Amino acid sequence: MKSKLKLFTLFLFSLFLTTGFVACSDDTDPTDQTIFVDSYKGKISYVNFGSGKKVSADDGKVIVSKLGDTYSFRFDNGIPDLTGIKFEKKDDNTFVSLGSDGLKGIKITASELHILMVKGGETWTADCRR
């Protein structure tokens, strides 16, 4: 039974990696894919007004992953990640929401990523290219 579980796990992992590499072409629009993983590089920043922590980098990196309609944005330079972000594709791949949980503005295309997220005294920004 353990060997079957290991084999099944290996198969799923291989499938995920294969799909991820296929979706990583620079001209692939992440909003058109069910599974997507790739990195965008450029200017990133983070401010936590409660703790006073400020991080900014002109050469930062954001790894974008998508499974279904849920996105995760993993920042480098010690910036906390944004996970569980859901939005539907619009004509220009833009998501904007103003609600009780803060302001979210995200635009993601095959070549660009723009983020402005304000939530709970924290602000994330990204202006990146692929």
pLDDT digits (tens, 9 = 90+) for 63-106: 999 998 888 999 999 999 999 888 766 666 666 655 566 778 88
Residue 105 three-state SS: strand
Among residues 110, 107, 108, 81, the alpha carbon closest in space to that of 72 is found at: 81
The residue extents of the domains of the chain are 2-129
Q: Cα 73 from chain centroid?
A: 3
Q: Say if CB 20 and CB 30 are below 8 A apart.
A: no
- Cβ-defined contacts of 52-59 (< 8 Å, 24+): 55/79
Among residues 91, 37, 97, 94, the alpha carbon closest in space to that of 62 is found at: 37
Q: What is the mean pLDDT of the chain?
A: 81
